[in-house]
Structures are given as C-alpha cells and as structure tokens.
C-alpha cells in the first residue's frame, strides 16, 4: 500500500500539487533539493520548521484510522509505504509505517550521519546532540536523493497480491512506477484518489475523498476476509 499527500488533505495538511501547483507558494523543486539547501539554507530550514510546527495543529482522519485498523487485522501482511513526511499514520495507530521520503519530526546530521527524532526548529542551526557540530538538516528525501528502503519496497511490490495507492498524484518517481512493478509481479491494483492519477494503469480506480473511500474499502475487505 502506498499513501500520498491526499490522505492527509482532510486533516488540513496541504497537498503539493493541487490548485495552483505550488507548495505554500514555492515550487516543490525550489525548497526540496540539496541544491536549494546549499543555495539558501535559511529558507529551506524555515520552510520545514513551519511544516513541522504545523503538525501540532492537525489530527489524523478517518482514512488514517482505517489503515491502522487494517494493520491490526493483517499484521505483517500489510506494508504501509507513505510518501508523506507527516506523522499522522503513526498518530492514528499504525505501527509499521515505512516513510520512503523521510519524516518531518526527524533530523539528520551531515557531519556524523546520525538520524534522530527532532521536534524543534532547525533554522537556528542547533548543534547535533551526537557530535556537537551544527550540521543538522531535515531527515527528508529531496528531489535527486534516493528514497529510503527501496530494496524492501521492490521485493514487496513484486510479491504482493494487491497494491493499493491512496491520495497520490502519481507524478513523482520512483513511487509513480510502483503500480507498474506490482502489475509486473502479478498483483491486482486499486487506486483510491480524489481524481484519477496520471499513472492510471490501475485495474480498479475509485474517485472521492480519502475519508470516505478508505474506511469503506477497509470495511469491504475485512468483511470479505471474515466470511472467506
Ligand atoms: N482524498 C483523496 N485524494 C485527495 C484528496 C482527498 N481528500 N485531496 C487531494 N487528493 C489527491 C489529489 O487529487 C492528488 O492526486 O491527492 C493527490 C496529491 O498529489 P500531490 O500533491 O502531488 O502529492 P503526492 O502525490 O503525495 O506527492 C508526491 O512529491 O514533492 C514531492 O516528496 C513530495 O512526497 C511528495 C511527492
């Protein structure tokens, strides 16, 4: 299962590409690249500081909760991969979330390579608790960087029975290609999204808000499992 910004939209977390295609007034590429960080570190740190602080003002929604319920049913048979850097899946109760694009509430020290939970600002360049050097950046994956855990993700995609994509526009690779890998591996594929995504090779596509589609689909699946 793959989730994107659309699953958190109804919690009040802005998506990246809806409406005007800007992300809080910036093109995603202008604040989410190593080059942007090198060119204007303060801008990028402040941008992520604001996103991190905003997490305190949002709550998980019915779609996040339904996926936590599904994990409770399926255990290790469910791999929840999210492109989201928010922590709403965890706060809804999901325990095994694979953040392929990293996490807002984590920092990565470029000096000593340690990754640590982080709640505060990074714009004031605090020293790394590990090495004392002011080398911390948000532990998020930027354009041009390798998403986390791709080997495990590929193995799961080629061996799963069902691949479900929720709330993602399907324009950012490698996640946009996951549906093709799943189909190549013989999986059924389902899309739950407000609109058909651009990589709409799915066997089944349902359009609507995540807070309606996801709980309804989870209820269908768990009822079917119970009667099987
Ligand atoms: N319910 C379901 N889907 C929704 C909802 C909703 N309430 N609101 C919006 N959507 C859909 C939109 O129709 C769109 O297809 O969610 C999708 C959001 O797309 P993007 O904003 O492009 O977000 P995402 O696909 O997660 O972006 C991928 O791009 O910039 C990078 O690293 C960033 O992880 C991010 C990646």
Q: Establish whether residue 22 lines the binding site of ligand 1, counting it when its CB lies within 6 angstroms of any ligand atom.
A: no
Q: How far is the CA of 174 from the centre of ligand 1 (A)?
A: 15
Best probe residue, ligand 1, of 28, 167, 209 (max atoms within 8 Å of C-beta): 167
Pairing of strands 188-193, 2-3: unpaired
Q: Establish whether residue 172 lines the binding site of ligand 1, counting it when its CB lies within 6 angstroms of any ligand atom.
A: yes
Write the CB contacts of 85 (distance below 8 Å, at least 6 apart in sequence).
51, 99, 101, 102, 103, 104, 140
Q: Establish whether residue 104 lines the binding site of ligand 1, counting it when its CB lies within 6 angstroms of any ligand atom.
A: no
Nearest residue to 220 via CA among 193, 177, 175, 190: 190
Q: Establish whether residue 169 lines the binding site of ligand 1, counting it when its CB lies within 6 angstroms of any ligand atom.
A: yes
What pLDDT does 19 receive? 60
Q: How far is the CA of 133 from the centre of ligand 1 (A)?
A: 35
Angle between helices 210-227 and 62-74 (to 10 degrees): 20
- Measuring from atom 4 of ligand 1, which residue has the nearest CA? 6
Q: Based on C-alpha coordinates, what's the Rg of the chain?
A: 18
Q: What is the pLDDT along the chain (228 residues), one digit of tens a residue?
A: 999 999 999 999 988 876 655 666 778 778 899 999 999 999 999 999 999 999 999 999 999 999 999 999 999 999 999 999 999 999 999 999 999 999 999 999 999 999 999 999 999 999 999 999 999 999 999 999 999 999 999 999 999 999 999 999 988 899 999 999 999 999 999 999 999 877 668 999 999 999 999 999 999 998 887 776
């Amino acid at each position: 299962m793959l989730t994107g910004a659309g699953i958190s939209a109804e919690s009040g977390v802005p998506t990246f590409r809806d409406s005007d295609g800007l992300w809080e007034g910036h093109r995603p590429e202008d604040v989410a690249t190593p080059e942007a960080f090198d060119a204007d570190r303060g801008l990028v740190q402040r941008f992520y500081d604001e996103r991190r602080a905003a997490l305190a003002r949002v709550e998980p929604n019915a779609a996040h909760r339904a996926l936590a319920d599904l994990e409770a049913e399926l255990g290790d048979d469910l791999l929840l991969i999210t492109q989201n850097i928010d922590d709403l899946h965890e706060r809804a109760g999901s325990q095994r979330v694979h953040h392929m694009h990293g996490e807002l509430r984590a920092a990565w020290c470029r000096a000593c390579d340690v990754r640590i939970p982080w709640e505060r600002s990074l714009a004031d360049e605090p020293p790394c608790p590990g090495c004392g050097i002011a080398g911390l950046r948000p532990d998020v994956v930027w354009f041009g960087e390798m998403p986390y855990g791709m080997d495990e993700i590929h193995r799961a995609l080629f061996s799963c029975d069902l691949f479900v994509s929720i709330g993602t526009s399907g324009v950012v690779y490698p996640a946009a290609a996951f549906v093709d890998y799943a189909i190549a591996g013989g999986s059924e594929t389902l899309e739950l999204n407000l609109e058909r995504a651009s990589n709409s090779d799915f066997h089944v596509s349902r359009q609507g808000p995540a807070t309606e589609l996801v709980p309804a689909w989870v209820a269908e699946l768990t009822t079917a499992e119970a009667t099987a």
